[in-house]
Structure 1
């Protein structure tokens, strides 16, 4: 019974270990950034610490046993292990404070060169997480020795310890990624795991004091000396077997890295995808280890066969990977885009990944227990043997993380790096064949290794048309979804003219149809379209031009994310712009940049543009001087690592880098998002910037403006003078905006409106990240988010006061020509509610205008305007501008009709041309039943009391 208690505790310690790894990586992203170097550094420190711990505690057990033998006492290894677990627990409780101290120290250090600064922060990070990582390496060598009753049971016990500890790690990977971090935050997760480690330490102490069978000094001597065991240095082939352990660690860590990237290409690079891949990988290793514990006998031939089978199944996996997006799309098409279906979809994906990986990864997980079995009698010294095997295996994993997961990807694409890992597995199998089956090395080389390696290098390359297809955005089945991968991809084939797998990003450039001005090149990163020179040009250009209108000066700017280069190009094209600094995390994106020079004002050729291949957070913190404009154009917030750019801390850092009249512009979207995530982003923005406005660039694309100087951002005379400059005229003409009225028509929420709302709720912080989890679930549903309700009287008052269109005409009533331009500008971007509201206001104010009828007719006949502009629909909105119109009698409207009219009022409400609030009150006054009264109270909770007006 007590051995099962000990094994249950190894599940808990494995659980906390993986949770720590995930949590530390998110902590240290604030020091190191979220780029691939930082990820590799954190993983290297963690694995390096484990490797040192395996070796250190393997030797420590031998020393403790020798000392106990001299003293004639039991070695009390369980108490020793309890101290280790207790120290880990105490360290975890103190970790938030330790991290704050290290972070403060990093910020106080004098400015140095970027490379030197990164190295200093890596050393600080190592000082922070290396000690507990080393301590975690004590589990397998100590418990293998403590729980083994004899050499005959040692293999089974060792497999149990390894397997159960890894099962805990599997649970930690899932719960940390899906639940713990978004619900509890990093600090509370660290403390919670610390208490679990302290609990495990307490129980291990009780087991030791309860005379749990721990090896006596005499037992230990038997473990070390029985059957003529010798020192590992004198065991024939020992070095070769250790090399196999290291090579296997390198190969499997490299393959795990590649599978993480493939998972992102097939499912979308969200935190859920990475958690799923890691969890399946870890579970498969655990299963492989536990299977060894049930084997009645283990022969040398079995060990060799298992590794050649591993090679075979990894080759089969290589052939399946290019079609992974197709398989994921087939699974996705089975589920409705609902909240309830999200976890069902994730579970089915988990089963699919498990089916594909459990055999090959399980075979790799069986290797170390099998090698331990082979060495246990030859070498003896159970703790030292286990420690040595796992130390070298983890050192190989460290090498896999650095080389296979980072360095090699600077030079080779994913499929080439996968082949390198496969070659390492072939070498492992070859070494085992020679050492365990006594095959001649020359015969093995000529007859097995050379043909196998040659076969690896003739494997077909992975087709970017398939692997980078971005099918994770296709939620519904098509006619070819279930017709096979070949026919499906043949129907979708688009011309790929560039493909590159970098350390953090897969970048693909496709050539589409061109228009009169520029070619239709599009950029995809990790399978997700991130920019097109035609369809996305307005968004990328206006993200630069609108803040350039609002800022006091336009001399220095900072752009987060190079993408297609349009934003940087538009800023550099401004005559008074002197410097445009661009931080781009992906080398692959920069390699693709020359393809877009034909349509983005050629920023690469501009001496004003300075490129920084770096993480935006780190690059901005280390930047010298202040900026007039900072533009952030990251990927969608559901993409792993992007949420940092939406955090309170990052926005604070950006605000502190602005000049007194500067503007921070953040791209955001309302598609594939939900209301909860939208409000989280806005609350976080409002927690940093005292004055915020929102502008649209496309139908569902927004730019959030953080304003330092509200007076300058409301100075329409200064903006008119700037707009009339030739460089600004040319820039706006590139997005078909020919007047200041048209430019101001893109204002959605005027300055100060959001600040007046007093939105309540949590914000996005680095110590409690929530956004990526909310956004990833919203992405699955694929719905459209909306802004908070802006119909309250205080919002309307501030909006009317600060609306740039109203300030431009110097009046509350917009002239017909202004209404016409604003309607056309909103309609051409298919902004349904705003388009209809401007036309309705136009019809209400000028019902007999011939120009109104002409414009409305043109809009109805314009194929690019998908909005259904029926006359009765527009007229139903125009009524909302007539607050004086009274209902003839109470009770004339049913509750259903009243609610429908209210929904129409709220859906099409526009702050620039707001409906008359009295019209909504008149509607509810005409609904005179107890049910109406109750429903009215519910509506007023959202919009405020209906009898409090703000005149139009």
Structure 2
């Protein structure tokens, strides 16, 4: 039976361990939040991640060492029972600092913005500022292991188990924090509120530890044993700890990248892989804490098992993209399946990488068990051991996670990590004695033979973006090779490279009719094809250039295929185009697209800078007539920054007077709420906005400087007729001025007058990436917000370029512009023609041609639909002769069509919809529905409000 003192000590340990879970939770949330904060300061997601990991791990390493020494000093001075009070002060200090962090960050951002931009020097200064920001709390977090190990271990025999338990529970909390930060906290609360909430957790934990220390009447002043103060051969143990840290942190980076190639490079992928790592590290530590007796050989067996598991993992990784596709086909494209799918992904990751990480999680507790047999100061030895291991993790983050990828591909970095682990296993085995040296030699020889036999990963396993194939195909369950064979036959890989930012491939199709096309593929997702996407990429340059007051300079965000850059430099008035491209591999692949982009890489007008666009914008003092942003999709990790309010402000401020900013966005694999969020954010920055389209669901959003003149139709017509612009339009598939104007979707003033309600996407309230990733999971096709009401409809009629005076609108040109790719505009056009010329013999042909063209974009038109929509037009000179009653179903259909197919190019008549409802007639018991429908229709045309009746 436990004495009162033992019971009190047991309760103290239990409460302390519970608080340790909370501090682990908050610590991982901080790491995720800091990565997003420092993305603003440092730019690139990959560079920010490397910097955050490096500074965070470096701070922990310093903290482990410092607090290990402090515990020795406190023990020597007889203050051992008050170590928990010290730790309470440490945790409370973290909490205060984190609550103040947003204010401190704002100050550092101002300091960075006033410093001169000096390329690499500027980045180094920003890294230093980042270290000043997150270094102090990271150092303080390094106090957990050494202080609590010393303060709460009862004796030397108890030390290993309890030390492993502290490590395991702190890491278990970090596991929950990794998932909560990525999936819930930051998307729902934003960065500032998350930091405040986590700071309160640390303050509370600090108070709790302080109270435990004050009420603790007795405790082990020391858990010393007789033995030498210096550890025999500590350098070998430290070297092994460093190598294991380097190996596993490098492996984590590789697996995050493989996860992006397998399930898409979203913020959820990052959170899932990190969460699996920290959970499995915790499980490994739990396993050691649960062992009643730890054999001396356990450490060596653990290390060679880890080597064997890494060999197996190397051979399994190329199957991951195919396996992920098979898993994805098991879940429906609905929101309710989202968390179930990611839970299945989590379980799959546990099976794939769990064994390796569990073994690595057991390494430090086992190393500690070896060392605690020889020392009289558990806190200091734990601090020194974890300091070396964390230093290895720091090297893994900076070298394996970034620098080595400047020269090596992912599979080669994996081999470097594997070699480090083999070296660690050899060092520890040879430490056990003469006999073990023979064993280690044999194992090293076997590992070396296996290492040399490793083959390269086939890039064809990773480049096809199988994660975008949500529905099963005939070959989905036929095995990887059978599934990939048709894809391999359809396109050849002419370039492949893994760089620190992404995995880049160039795929070639053809020749077909003597012509080839090439695609740039980033992380398994095509970001542009020289044939299929030419019109969008070209119009992203042509439209702002035609609408800007002058075009002498341009800035393009993202090189891609170089077609946007090529269209700008093809204009005689353009003297200089700066291209910001973050990926070294994309820059290396650029010459492969010269055949399609006016030989961009050989043109002296082009200045390519290898940097993040946000840093380039903030650091530049120049202004540009045209700025074009063509990033990847916002669900891709790090891309959402380029859609933020802060970035748009930076871009707007770099526009010359009369300049235009163009932003690509998409309506495929997203939802209407995400489109509205992007437009709302755009309108919050630019006072004048219009929206055009390139190809089908590809949008081009234009923001104008206040003194631009986008409604000068005469100047626009003259520019379109000039040889340079005319050639550019023809290359884009546009053969007339009318067809060009038909690409305008939301004319100037429409977005602002619609007053779209909802949040704004900002760097500190980053919601777009989260929403876009969920919408990507569903694979929806988004609609533009309905703006056919009130002032928005009025401005649409007034400002639509097609409606400007002096237009000669040929039916064929209108048809090509409106019916080529977008169903809603086509239906409205055909309906208007049906109303104006119901007996026109061309109608069946137009409907047939529209179906043929729209089929590629998932649309279609029927004569029944055209006739229904035609009733929504009412011409001024028309005498309404239709007095017959309108059935309720037909009136409801008219309201739905009014919202679905409203086009500012071919606007419906609000009065026509109201007239239909005024003639709604049903059985007496349903007449109330007609009255309600009329009220709803009036609201629709005046305010755009209300839910449509079914």
Aligned residues: 925
Q: How many Å separate the matches in 2 of 1:172 and 1:706?
A: 39
**C-alpha deviations, 1:869-906, integer Å up to 9, x for none?**
3323222222211376466366x412x44322321222
TM-score norm. by structure 2 comes to: 0.95
Shift of the 935–460 alpha-carbon distance from structure 1 to 2, 3 Å rule, reads farther
The answer to whether the 8 A contact 1:680-1:771 is kept is yes
Matches of residues 445-844 of structure 1 in structure 2 within 5 Å? 446-493=441-488, 494-514=491-511, 518-709=515-706, 712-807=709-804, 809=806, 817-828=809-820, 830-844=821-835
**Unaligned stretches of 5+ in structure 2?**
1-10, 922-926, 946-950
The residue number in structure 1 matching 2:919 is 926
SS in 2 for 1:379: coil
**Unaligned stretches of 5+ in structure 1?**
948-952
1:445 Cα offset (Å):
6.7
1:710 Cα offset (Å):
6.3
The residue number in structure 2 matching 1:202 is 207
Q: How many Å separate the matches in 2 of 1:857 and 1:257?
A: 53
Shift of the 325–342 alpha-carbon distance from structure 1 to 2, 3 Å rule, reads same
SS in 2 for 1:461: coil
2:94 paired with 1:94: no
2:169 paired with 1:175: no
**C-alpha deviations, 1:320-367, integer Å up to 9, x for none?**
111111111111101110010111101111111112222110000000
The answer to whether the 8 A contact 2:914-2:937 is kept is no
The answer to whether the 8 A contact 1:251-1:400 is kept is yes
The answer to whether the 8 A contact 1:584-1:612 is kept is yes
Question: Which one of the candidate residues 378, 384, 390 is aligned to 1:394?
Answer: 390
1:861 Cα offset (Å):
5.9
2:80 paired with 1:42: no
* Superposed CA RMSD: 2.0
The answer to whether the 8 A contact 1:885-1:919 is kept is no
Q: How many Å separate the matches in 2 of 1:49 and 1:517?
A: 59
**C-alpha deviations, 1:526-561, integer Å up to 9, x for none?**
011111011011111010001111001110100000
Q: How many Å separate the matches in 1 of 2:467 and 2:346?
A: 16
Shift of the 711–260 alpha-carbon distance from structure 1 to 2, 3 Å rule, reads closer
The residue number in structure 2 matching 1:20 is 30
Q: How many Å separate the matches in 2 of 1:180 and 1:868?
A: 42
The residue number in structure 2 matching 1:899 is 892
Shift of the 214–33 alpha-carbon distance from structure 1 to 2, 3 Å rule, reads farther
SS in 2 for 1:660: strand
SS in 1 for 2:494: strand
**C-alpha deviations, 1:767-817, integer Å up to 9, x for none?**
11000000000000001111111110211210111111111535xxxx6x4
SS in 2 for 1:580: strand
SS in 2 for 1:539: helix
Matches of residues 933-952 of structure 1 in structure 2 within 5 Å? 933-937=931-935, 942-944=940-942
The answer to whether the 8 A contact 1:14-1:167 is kept is yes
2:238 paired with 1:242: yes
SS in 2 for 1:477: coil
Q: How many Å separate the matches in 2 of 1:642 and 1:862?
A: 32
SS in 1 for 2:760: coil
Shift of the 285–886 alpha-carbon distance from structure 1 to 2, 3 Å rule, reads farther
Shift of the 658–241 alpha-carbon distance from structure 1 to 2, 3 Å rule, reads same
SS in 2 for 1:880: coil
1:580 Cα offset (Å):
0.5
The residue number in structure 2 matching 1:142 is 147
Shift of the 886–254 alpha-carbon distance from structure 1 to 2, 3 Å rule, reads farther
Q: How many Å separate the matches in 2 of 1:847 and 1:279?
A: 64
Question: Which one of the candidate residues 901, 904, 908 is aligned to 2:901?
Answer: 908
1:648 Cα offset (Å):
0.5
2:82 paired with 1:76: yes
Shift of the 760–374 alpha-carbon distance from structure 1 to 2, 3 Å rule, reads same
2:427 paired with 1:417: no
The residue number in structure 2 matching 1:231 is 229
Question: Which one of the candidate residues 252, 255, 263 is aligned to 1:256?
Answer: 252
Q: How many Å separate the matches in 1 of 2:321 and 2:217?
A: 52
The residue number in structure 2 matching 1:33 is 43
Shift of the 930–436 alpha-carbon distance from structure 1 to 2, 3 Å rule, reads farther
The residue number in structure 2 matching 1:845 is 836
SS in 1 for 2:810: helix
Shift of the 941–3 alpha-carbon distance from structure 1 to 2, 3 Å rule, reads farther
The answer to whether the 8 A contact 2:172-2:282 is kept is yes
The answer to whether the 8 A contact 1:753-1:798 is kept is yes
SS in 2 for 1:519: strand
TM-score norm. by structure 1 comes to: 0.94
1:595 Cα offset (Å):
1.1
Question: Which one of the candidate residues 272, 279, 283 is aligned to 1:283?
Answer: 279
1:856 Cα offset (Å):
4.6
The residue number in structure 2 matching 1:61 is 71
Q: How many Å separate the matches in 1 of 2:944 and 2:406?
A: 62
1:851 Cα offset (Å):
5.5
Shift of the 149–831 alpha-carbon distance from structure 1 to 2, 3 Å rule, reads same
Q: How many Å separate the matches in 1 of 2:854 and 2:892?
A: 32
SS in 2 for 1:713: coil
